[in-house]
Every structure is written in structure tokens, then in C-alpha cells.
Homo-oligomer: A and B are copies of this chain.
Amino acid sequence: MLKALFIDLSGVLYIGKQIIPGAVAAIAKARENQLQLRFVTNTARNTRAQILIDLNKLGFSVSEQELFTAPIAAHAWLKEKKLHPYCLIHPNIKSEFSDLVQSNPNAVIIGDAEQDFCYDKLNRAFQLCQQGAPLLGIGYNRFFKLDGQLLLDAGPFIKAIEFAASTKAIILGKPSRDFFLQVLGSTNLQADQVLMIGDDIYGDIEGAINAGLHGCLVRTGKYQSGDENKISPSHQTADSIVEAVDYALSETRKI
């Protein structure tokens, strides 16, 4: 029986500044029906504080305890290991890493760095990894949608450095099993009591299923026709968050 929803943000609740029709009401309906909610995002273009402000501006009342972001998970990992990261991340979130020593780096972290993905900075990341520095990825997403365009996310650049330096990245955020289990730990539930709702067949749905959760792919955001067939484990599909919440509620009423 479903007792919680893990919900991706961009492409599921909104695209850019546009709310997905019915999303605010759907989230409210899920709350009214006692579903626990967690919002899980690999977004690495905004700080956690800014994401909360934006969500509330859009009409979603989300508390700090309900929001899990990949950059925060990555920061915690680096801090625990006392590593000095070379940060290939978006200027907007550099402040979230500013408490870490970044001179003489001995680790590399790659997020959605946008224009910072240039030859010189990618070479620096590669050279450090080639010398043995661990490679961290903020998510492993292939692309995202912005202003109607598909744009490269961090995943392909992580893949590039992995290949060049013959290494394997540690992924913080979706689709990492550890990340899903960390979010699950904030509930008192079993994995199979949770439905992950997302628009990324790999990062959201396949990742959640690998962690033991259920998955529901929505046909909004970056969804492209045929995405549902790209993975073999069984999962739900829904036209949007509205239909996904209705499905979840129908499941909670089954027993």
C-alpha cells in the first residue's frame, strides 16, 4: 500500500516558470489524503533555499525537511570525507560549497555547470582524476528541458571524464540507490510503500526501482515518446502529476 510520494520537481510540477496544469491542486490533494511527500531533485542551478522560495511562490507549500537536493548530498559527502573539491558546478550554487577548502583540490565534483563546461576546465577535472582524485557527480542526468530546448545535463560530462580517466564516478543524487535510501530514511516507511513520480525514465524511474521503490513516469517535462520502453522493470505511466496522484490515491485505497 502506498504511503508516500517522492516527487521530482522540474518537468513534473513546473517547466521553467510555468506550472504543470493541476499540479498545485494535485499536491494539496495528496496531502489531504495523508500521503507523506518528499521532493527530490538533482537540480544544480539553484540553492536549496532558493528552490524552497520558488516552490512556495508557485503555490506549493513545501517545508525544508521535505526537500532533498543532490548538491546538498554531495556537499555532505565531501565534508564528511574532508576532501577539497575542484568544482565544475553552476555559479548559482557555488555558495553551497564555499565553506569547503578548494585550493590544492583532491576531488572533482561535476554538476550542471553550464558555460563552465569548457575545454580548459574539463581538462583540469580530467587531470585530477587521472592522478587519482575521486570523481563525484551531482546526479547522472543526460539532459533537461529549458525554454523548449533539450540541453546537456551533468551526466554526459561525468561520463566523459569517467572514460578519459578510466574511473567510475560516485553519484550523489538520483539515480543513486544511496540517495533514494537517504530520503526514505526520513520517512518511517518501507521502500515498497513509496511511489517515485518523475519525467526522467533513467534518473527518476529506473533509479527508484533499483532502490526498491515503485515508479511512475509522467508524460510532461523532458518526457519523449517511447521513453517508457527504455527500461525493462515494470512501472506506471501517467499523463501528468495529476493522473499520477490519482493513481497513488487509488492504490492507497486498495486495502
Q: Interface extent on A, as a size class? A: 20 to 34
If A159-B159, A160-B156, A164-B155 touch, does A126 touch B143 (CB 8 Å cutoff)? Answer: yes
* A77 at the B interface (CB under 8 A): no
Residues of B with C-beta under 8 A to A19? none
| Shortest Cβ distance from residue A246 to the other chain B in the assembled complex, whole angstroms | 30
B149, A127: Cβ atoms closer than 8 Å: yes
| Shortest Cβ distance from residue A123 to the other chain B in the assembled complex, whole angstroms | 5
B118, A142: Cβ atoms closer than 8 Å: no
Copies in the complex: 2
Residues of B with C-beta under 8 A to A155? 163-164
A119, B117: Cβ atoms closer than 8 Å: yes
Interface residues of A (CB under 8 A from B): 113-120, 122-123, 126-127, 130, 142-143, 149-153, 155-157, 159-161, 163-164, 166, 230
Extra contacts, 13 of them, besides A116-B119, A155-B163, A166-B230 (Cβ < 8 A), are: A122-B152, A123-B149, A126-B143, A126-B150, A127-B149, A142-B164, A142-B166, A155-B164, A156-B161, A156-B163, A157-B160, A159-B160, A159-B163
